[in-house]
Structure 1
Amino acid sequence: MRGLPRDLHPVAWWLWAIGLATAASLTTNPLVLLIIVGVVAFVVSFRRADHPWARSFRFYVWLGVIAVVLRVLWRVILGGGYPGEVVLDLPEIPLPDFVNGVRLLGPVTREALLAGLYDGLRLATLVICVGAANSLANPKRLLRSLPPALYEIGTALVVAVTVLPQFTQSIARVRAAQALRAGDTGRVKRLRRFLVPVLEDTFDRSLALAAGMDTRGYGRSGEASVAARRLTGGLLLGGLCGVGVGVYAMLDQTAPRLLAAPMLATGVLVAAAGLVAAGRRVQRTRYRPDRWRAPEIAVVVVGLTVAGLGWWVSHHQVLIAYPLLTAAPEVSVAALAAALLGLAAVLVTPPPAVLR
């Protein structure tokens, strides 16, 4: 199944990362979340190619660390609101009566800090999963794989996604250039000499990418009549309304069941019809289109299985998925299997192609 070295289909990597992110969103167990982070880092280290966007994973890791720190600080600043053992007794700042229920500083309990740590770790895991998909998937090939109806949106998304990889490249170039010349040694002036060229080079390269894609016809629309545009807009708007009502009914158990799964399925079908109708007016060709093979299908199955196991643990092992703040978290066999199953992506995929 692994075969010769080649780059995997970008959609397959995104679906795998979304599956792991779904499992992470269904738990606050720090042990499970840390295992998922380790699995994601392991897969990225073994399956990312030697492309510029593949080097941005560590920045997503730092974003995750910042998210954890900010979440804990948020609990400290707002006092937490969790009863328990006080570990940090800060003076409380009085607030006006119209913000009743909000407390600024004050005693901070151990349970409040743990709650902030668990929530921040879950958010960090989601950010790292997105960073893994961005590091493993080729954004330009991802644009080629989008449906014709989403091609204009995909062009903007590709430009936005490539900003962070371009940022990493700019940092390396500016560091190398500044190492060859002397300059200000003060912290403030040195930081200004570093940030200004990095940001300027990053945005210049992203705008150059957008201009190059525009000159090659990316996002070009064909001619369509007024009736066709109205039909397409009506189908997309109706599908969006159906999906919104269906999702609300699925979450609200008091809503009529007829508005839940049936309305959601109808909205998805109508939206799909609108995408097909909108894609007919976009004329474009594909050179060497990416094909789905056995490794791609296996990676998607791994991601969906991880998401399914995470959903099962969150509904049948609630204390494992959402541990109490007053007890040490535990891990069951199902939760451990859901977290470690993502490693199978290394076994079922070929090694990445090496640039020469």
Structure 2
Amino acid sequence: MHPGAWWLWALGLAVAASRTTNPLLLALVVAVAGYVVAARRTDAPWARSYLAFVKLGVLVIGIRVLFSTLLGSPIPGSHTLFTLPEVPLPDWARGIRIGGRVTAEQLVFALYDGAKLAALLICVGAANALANPARLLKCLPGALYEVGVAVVVAMTFAPNMVADVARLRTARRLRGRPTGGIRAIAQIGLPVLEGALERSVAVAASMDARGYGRSAHVPPAVRRTTTVFTLGGLLGVCAGSYGLLAAEGAVYGLPLLLAGLFAAVVGLRLGGRRSLRTRYRPDLFGVRSWLVAGSGAAVAALMIWAGSLHPEALHPSVVPLVAPVLPLWPALAIAVGLLPAFVAPVPPSAATAPAPAASTSASASVPEESP
């Protein structure tokens, strides 16, 4: 499976989540992403970070509701739940309050808003758990190689840290030591930082051995043309995206976006001449990859279309406060995102993996803690 297909699928789900505040549809997006991850992720360390993104999403919802409770909200409401002591502020802070009346409408609005952001984070976590970052780096254009290496190293830092913490907690349990509390966290933190430093040194050595940063000679005219096309294309993409999102820019948004994409692709092709790289066994975008990426694009397109037809179903009202309902067509559109769970290749399971050579070597796999 091409790693870019997983990212296109996840971005399609993220676009669908960004078009609605209905908690039932957002929960359906999270359920679809979770089912596909459970069905098609591998046992690699970077594939175990999905649960961390889920916890981060729950934390985001809690923070959003807490801020709305303490700092108030511009949403009017008539159903008062409780009243907090209000802190008097000077005249120059007019419009800002700390404490005061807390209504059900403002809490529900904060919950909807936080759930949307949490769904976006979970979609990104699904892509991070399914797409191999090393293979994704190999698929980048030559002009983005240096930037891609930095991004991949940054993306793999959190999954590797989560895996290190899990291994160290397992080792402490096997030794009969506690895994919770401030003291245990302090004793686990030092080995985790030591492992991160060792990986950083190993990555730096491997990058230097592979000639990272080496570039070919390119004429000045080609460099200037590359800069003009790349920057102009990115500006066109930004302006076209804004035009598509704004109601008054729908006429010029799509042509400007297409022109910007074309200019950016030309600039990246010209910029790739300075990169002395070859690809060994490049990943091909086969039929399965097209189906996975197409399912995400279909979810995004159908949700945008449903938002133009039934906006009230995708954005339930909070003033007056009404219970959200699950609309049929948007729910079926999100269900299209389940296609990768059936068409993507099944990763090798632990049942088919070779058994360890000897049971006496199991103790050697337990990481040692720093003194």
Q: TM-score of the superposition, structure 2-length normalised?
A: 0.88
1:21 corresponds to which residue? 14
Shift of residue 11 of structure 1?
A: 0.5
Unaligned runs of 5+ in 1: 1-7
Q: Which amino acid aligns with 1:117?
A: L
* Partner Cα distance (2:180, 2:345) in 1: 48
Contact 1:166/1:206 (CA < 8 Å) preserved in 2?
no
Per-residue deviation, residues 242-268 of structure 1 (Å, max 9, x unmatched) = 3333334444555695x5333333222
Residue 315 of structure 2 is aligned to residue 322 of structure 1: yes
Note the 1:16-95 alignment, pairs <5 A. Answer: 16-82=9-75, 83-95=77-89
Residue 260 of structure 2 is aligned to residue 267 of structure 1: yes
Shift of residue 107 of structure 1?
A: 0.8
* Partner Cα distance (1:67, 1:271) in 2: 34
**SS of aligned partner of 1:114:** helix
* Partner Cα distance (2:261, 2:226) in 1: 14
* Partner Cα distance (1:314, 1:177) in 2: 50
* Partner Cα distance (1:152, 1:172) in 2: 31
Shift of residue 190 of structure 1?
A: 2.5
Picking from 96, 100, 112, the partner of 2:94 is 100
Shift of residue 222 of structure 1?
A: 1.8
Contact 1:78/1:103 (CA < 8 Å) preserved in 2?
yes
1:231 corresponds to which residue? 225
Contact 1:85/1:109 (CA < 8 Å) preserved in 2?
yes
**SS of aligned partner of 2:277:** coil
Shift of residue 47 of structure 1?
A: 0.2
* Partner Cα distance (1:306, 1:192) in 2: 45
1:113 corresponds to which residue? 107
Shift of residue 175 of structure 1?
A: 2.1
Say which is worse superposed, 190-199 or 121-130, in terms of deviation: 190-199
Say which is worse superposed, 266-275 or 56-65, in terms of deviation: 266-275
Q: Which amino acid aligns with 1:85?
A: H
Contact 1:155/1:219 (CA < 8 Å) preserved in 2?
no
2:340 corresponds to which residue? 345
CA change 1:256–1:128 in 2 (3 A) is: closer
CA change 1:206–1:86 in 2 (3 A) is: farther
Shift of residue 196 of structure 1?
A: 2.7
* Partner Cα distance (1:210, 1:334) in 2: 50
Note the 1:72-221 alignment, pairs <5 A. Answer: 72-82=65-75, 83-179=77-173, 187-221=181-215
Per-residue deviation, residues 260-307 of structure 1 (Å, max 9, x unmatched) = 333333222222111110012212111111112211111111111100
CA RMSD for the aligned pairs?
Answer: 2.2
Residue 270 of structure 2 is aligned to residue 277 of structure 1: yes
Shift of residue 168 of structure 1?
A: 1.8
Shift of residue 233 of structure 1?
A: 1.2
**SS of aligned partner of 2:83:** strand
Picking from 239, 247, 261, the partner of 2:241 is 247
Contact 1:28/1:323 (CA < 8 Å) preserved in 2?
yes
CA change 1:301–1:249 in 2 (3 A) is: closer
Contact 2:89/2:97 (CA < 8 Å) preserved in 1?
yes
State, as a whole percentage, how many aligned pairs show the same letter: 45
Q: Which amino acid aligns with 1:314?
A: G
Q: Which amino acid aligns with 2:202?
A: A
Contact 1:163/1:203 (CA < 8 Å) preserved in 2?
no
Unaligned runs of 5+ in 2: 355-371
Shift of residue 163 of structure 1?
A: 0.5
Shift of residue 320 of structure 1?
A: 0.8
* Partner Cα distance (2:250, 2:8) in 1: 32
How many correspondences in the alignment?
Answer: 348
Shift of residue 127 of structure 1?
A: 0.5
**SS of aligned partner of 2:86:** strand
Shift of residue 111 of structure 1?
A: 0.7
2:367 corresponds to which residue? none
Say which is worse superposed, 87-96 or 190-199, in terms of deviation: 190-199
Contact 1:151/1:219 (CA < 8 Å) preserved in 2?
no
Shift of residue 162 of structure 1?
A: 0.5
Shift of residue 184 of structure 1?
A: 9.0
Shift of residue 105 of structure 1?
A: 1.3
CA change 1:183–1:46 in 2 (3 A) is: closer
Shift of residue 123 of structure 1?
A: 0.7
Shift of residue 169 of structure 1?
A: 2.0
* Partner Cα distance (1:10, 1:247) in 2: 25
Say which is worse superposed, 198-207 or 284-293, in terms of deviation: 198-207
CA change 1:252–1:33 in 2 (3 A) is: closer
Q: Which amino acid aligns with 2:330?
A: A
1:3 corresponds to which residue? none
**SS of aligned partner of 1:212:** helix
Contact 2:46/2:128 (CA < 8 Å) preserved in 1?
yes
CA change 1:304–1:248 in 2 (3 A) is: closer
